[in-house]
Structure 1
Amino acid sequence: MNRFSQPDRHPMQWLTANEQSSDLIMAAHRLLALEKHLKKCLPATLAQQVAVTAYEDNTLTLLIYHAAPAAKLRQMTSTLCQAMLRGGWNIKKIEIRMGTEPKFAHQETMERQARPLDADDLSHFEALQTQLEPGRLSDAIQALIKRHRPD
C-alpha cells in the first residue's frame, strides 16, 4: 500500500512521510518563526510590509515592495540583528530585496455601506446650509441636496 492510497490521512502527515518534504516543512516553519519574531521587533506599519524569504549562513533575506519602507529598514539592520540575536536567532547580516508587485494586492475590499438620503436627512442638510456663510462648503451642501432630492 502506498501513501496515496490512504485518502483519510491529514496533508501534514503526507508531507512529513518522506525526508524531502519533511525538510521543506521544517524550513517553512523556521522561516515563519523568523518572520514572526522579526515583526515583533519592527514598527507595526513596517512589519506589515516585510516578508522573510531566506535564512542561510547567518544572513536573513527580507522582501519588501516599496522604496521608502526599504530605506527605513536598511537604517534599522544593525538594530534588528541585535534584537534577533537577543531572541535566539544568530543573524549577522540582513539583506533587503525589492519585490515587483505588492504582497497585499489581493486584499478584500469592504462592501460599501451607503444608504440613500431620506427626506429627514435632506432637511438636516438644508438647515445646516442656511446657517453657513456663502462659500465652497455651502456650495457643496447645495449640490448634495440637489443631487439627492427626488424630482
Structure 2
Amino acid sequence: MTQSIQRYLGAADPLARLKEHAARLRRLQADLQRCLPPLLAASCSVANLKDDTLVIFAQSTAVAVKLKQMAPSLVQHLREQGHPLTDVHVKVAIRQPRPTRPPPIERRISAQGKQCLTAFAATLPADSPLREALERLARCSR
C-alpha cells in the first residue's frame, strides 16, 4: 500500500481501519432503515461517512427531496442512536441500466426434419410420452 494512503488512513493497520469504517457504515444503514418509513427506507442507502457528515444515496429525485426535508430529524435520530453526526448530504444515485438481453435465437426445423420426427414418432407406442413430445415438436415448429 502506498505511503500516501497509509498517511491518509493514519493507522498502523489500514485494513483494520477500513473494516471499522465498513462496520460503522453497516450500523448507520441499519439505524437509518429503522427511522424511515418502509418505502422510503427501501429507496435509499448509506453511501459514506465523511468526518461527521453522512452521505446518503437516493434512488430518485423525489426520494432525495424527501430525505433532504427530513435531514434535521435524521441527524437527531442518528445522534440518539450513538452516531456523532452534524449533517446529512443526499445525492441521487444514477443507476446503470440493466444490460439488455440479446433476442432469443430462432431455431427452425426444416421440412425434412419435421418428416423425420413424424416418421420416428409413428414407430413409437401410441401412449408413449416421447411420441407425444415429438409430434408436438413437429406440429409447433416453424
TM-score bracket for this pair, using the shorter chain length? 0.5 to 0.7
Q: Which amino acid aligns with 1:85?
A: R
Structure 2 counterpart SS, 1:101: coil
Report % sequence identity: 28
Counterpart of 2:39 in structure 1 is 45
Q: How does 1:22-101 map to 2 (within 5 A)?
A: 22-101=16-95
Cα deviation for residue 37 of structure 1 reads: 0.6
Per the TM alignment, residue 21 of structure 1 is displaced from its structure 2 partner at its CA by 1.8
Deviations 1:69-107 (A, max 9, x none): 1111111001111111111111111000111107xx6xx
Summarize deviations over 1:101-129 as a string: whole Å, max 9, x none. 07xx6xxxxxxxxxxxxxxxxxxxxxxxx
Deviations 1:2-22 (A, max 9, x none): xxxxxxxxxxxxxxxx82222
CA-atom RMSD in angstroms: 2.2
Please list every run of 5 or more consecutive structure 2 residues that lacks an aligned counterpart in the other structure. 1-11, 99-142
Q: Give the SS at the match of 1:77.
A: helix
Larger radius of gyration: 2
Structure 2 counterparts to residues 118-129 of structure 1, below 5 A: none
Task: Structure 1 unaligned segments of length 5 or more: list them.
Answer: 1-17, 106-151
Count residues with an aligned counterpart. Answer: 88
